[in-house]
Amino acid sequence: MKKFIFGLSAIVILSACNSDGAEESVSKNASDMHRGEIVYKQTCIGCHGEDLKGRGSSGKDLSHIGSEKSPEYIRSVIENGTRSMPSNLVEGEDLDAVVEWLSEQK
């Protein structure tokens, strides 16, 4: 009987460790990434590209946007769109985050 209880608690401790470890690595990866970068990857990457340099003629190079344009300009482009870029792709905190992240691309 003692052996059984020992075996059982070993399994409980082991599985608790495993799930803790998994959760930690997931939240670590997510918090390592700027929220704006996550929004960019979800919404903007199709036109502006993984390296922000634009994909052919479908999006502008944003890789130095932070040193070229003000956060206000960036925000207004995202809100209002421009020529072939659609308006209102993101809003609220996602908008704040992507404006902040792009402003850091210098």
CB distance 62 to 94 below 8 Å:
no
Q: Which residue is it, tokens 């994909």?
A: 55
Distance in Å, CB of 71 to ligand HEC, minimum: 10
Alpha-carbon distance values, 74 to 30, 36, 50, 69, 95 (Å): 24, 13, 18, 7, 10
48 touches ligand HEC by CB under 6 A: yes
- When binding is defined by CB under 6 A, the residue of 49, 74, 97, 103 that contacts ligand HEC is 74
The residue (of 38 and 89) whose beta carbon lies closer to ligand HEC is: 89
The residue (of 24 and 68) whose beta carbon lies closer to ligand HEC is: 68
- When binding is defined by CB under 6 A, the residue of 20, 46, 72, 88 that contacts ligand HEC is 46
CA distance 38 to 50: 12
CB distance 36 to 101 below 8 Å:
yes
- Which three-class secondary structure state does DSSP give residue 85? strand
Residues engaged in binding ligand HEC (CB under 6 A) = 43-44, 46-48, 58-60, 62, 65, 69, 74, 77-78, 82-86, 89-90, 98, 102
Q: Which residues are annotated as a binding site?
A: 44, 47-48, 85
